[in-house]
Copies of this chain bind each other. A is one copy, B any other.
Amino acid sequence: MIIKIENNTNFSTIKSYLESLHLEVHLIHKKNNRYIVISGDERPINMNYLCSIIGNSKIITDFSPYYFSSREFQKEDTIIEVKNFKVGGGNFSYIAGPCTIENENDLIETGRLISKYGATLFRAGAFKPRTSPYNFQGWGREGIKLLHSVGQKLNMPVITEVLNPEDVLWMEPYIDVFQVGTRNMTNTALLKELGKTNKPVLLKRNFAVGIEDWIKAAEFVIVYGNSNVMLCERGIQGVDNYNRFVLDLAAVSAAKQLTHLPVIVDPSHATGRPELIPSMVSAAIVAGADGIIVETHIDPSKMLVPGDGPQALLPHQFNKIVEDNKPLLKLLQKKLCL
């Protein structure tokens, strides 16, 4: 149940009543309105009593499972500000950087080049979700601090993956955008915790879930308090081993139609093949993407996470992609963030 609050409504009375019934109650501010979102077993609610205490507020019972994310709720694109640039609403951004934070020199050198070539947000991983415990799990806290300091030096905002809900709070001052990886899209404990920050969240689609479940995961973050969610398509399971995953560009287009959230595309993890990244960047732009996230590295042969080497672009390859797509963005009247 959602209640759209009118001015004369006493929120705390409603909250007390609902919580006395063991319901979870969220207060959400969206588009100059306030909403109470209720989740839990609604059967014990005495509707007569509830109506008597909500005043002119309106009870919404028939709503989509991604109500606040939907175009029905908000027609215009959400524009998310990340320091000095904007994501969504006709702006187009490149996010780039190495998969893993390895050492300061390579990080600075990669960042310096991709910034020069057109990336506005610097990505690098400190917490790596690996399938085997014997693999390198990333530099952790130390890595986060290093990324922060490199971002400061380069004057670039930074994005990095968070795996553990307990890391959200302390990481917040160090990073500009939280990334939720494909393996954690269904980690509701993490999504809820990210709802409590005000830093933007880039939410990768799980490689095995449908479009609408992906949007519902975004809705989790929003309902728990953080409206700054960007969706990220990074490929789903296909029928093939030629590419690592199948880049689902119809899902990008569908997500743009169904929601007002920015949608970013990751062709690196989707294809795992540098020779397919350029065409997939262009196709993603045309399909409606608001930005691209790609892996770049100054020397892929030195990478610590072996599987990621082949898919990383060299900085000059990244440069070529940015340049080659300028006419396309111009044709589509998209503004490149620089």
Contact = CB atoms under 8 A, between A and B. Distances in A.
B240 A211 contact: yes
A24 to B, nearest CB: 7
A282 to B, nearest CB: 4
A216 B41 contact: no
A286 B275 contact: no
Interface stretch (A149-157, A170-178, A202-210, A310-318): A202-210
A238 B240 contact: no
A52 interface: no
A132 B219 contact: yes
Interface in A117-167: 129-137, 139, 142, 163-166
B165 A210 contact: no
Contacts of A186: 129, 131, 183-184
A130 B188 contact: yes
A68 B299 CA distance: 35
Contacts of A254: 242-243, 273, 276
A328 to B, nearest CB: 7
A22 to B, nearest CB: 7
A197 interface: no
Interface stretch (A73-81, A83-91, A105-113, A245-253): A245-253
Most buried by B among A209, A275, A287: A287
A220 interface: yes
Interface in A280-324: 280, 282-288, 304
A39 interface: yes
Contact of A250 (B63, B223, B243, B327): B243
Please give me the 7 A-B residue pairs with the lowest Cβ-Cβ distance, nearest first.
A208-B208, A210-B240, A164-B189, A183-B186, A65-B132, A253-B279, A133-B223
Given A67-B134, A133-B219, 18 more contacts: A22-B142, A39-B137, A65-B134, A66-B132, A129-B186, A133-B220, A207-B208, A209-B240, A210-B239, A237-B238, A237-B239, A240-B251, A243-B254, A246-B251, A250-B279, A250-B280, A253-B276, A327-B331
